[in-house]
Amino acid sequence: MTAKQQESGRAVILYDDALLDHADTALFTPPAAAASAVGGRGSAWLLQHGDAEWVLRHYRRGGLPGRFIRDLYVWTGLEATRAWREWRLLQSLYKVGLPVPQPVAAQVVRAGLFYRADLITRRIPGATSIAALMAAGGESRVPWGEAGHTVRRLHDAGVYHADLNAHNLLVDAAAKVHIIDFDRGARRGAGAWRQANLARLQRSLHKLAGSGAVIAPAWAAFLVGYGT
């Protein structure tokens, strides 16, 4: 697994040479028949590459800024771009065996003082988000203790997840829990961010369940797995 960098016009591409012989901008143009993937603020697609499935995500702004500047970010250097930072973080976590998507390629396209960006990761086969399971009444299918243990592994590695919620925790067919979407994630030292991460996830679960009482047993099992 070696990171390689390649330029193509105004675009710069970072990719794993164990997964790709070369990379170009065509990788980041979803075919008309490509299915939408969950997440990515409506800008994620499923791509077929040989026997593997990939997820292509175009970076878009959320909230109020997203209403005016949908996908432009201020250029402060290549290594500071959101795509580069997420790709490198994912690669470092994947290398040490943490349950995160394998990064395939990232693209940054300069546009004057701004840039646009895309990220491709390998899809986690047979995985369903905890949010989707809960929406279908499948709380009992969620391995809550395993979910807690998985988040604890991430925290023990010093990794802050900027948007830890039920949509970004996936459960596969073997009941293994994976964590996705590390945009704006970072390595941090010890601090209150861990509890803030847990509080954000708990709010997400409450919102989906519609009642704190409904989610209380699940959250208790999660915290047992987390080790609190």
Catalytic residues: 163
Structure tokens at 67: 């209403």
- The answer to whether residues 59 and 83 touch, using CB atoms and an 8 Å cutoff, is yes
Q: Which helix (H) or strand (E) holds 115?
A: strand 114-122
Rounded Cα distance, 147 and 215, in Å: 14
Alpha-carbon distances of 78 from 59, 73, 133, 182, 215, rounded to whole Å: 15, 12, 38, 18, 42
What is residue 214's three-state secondary structure?
A: helix
DSSP string, 171-201: E-TTS-EEE---TT-EE--SSTHHHHHHHHH
Pairing outcome for strands 114-122 and 52-58? antiparallel
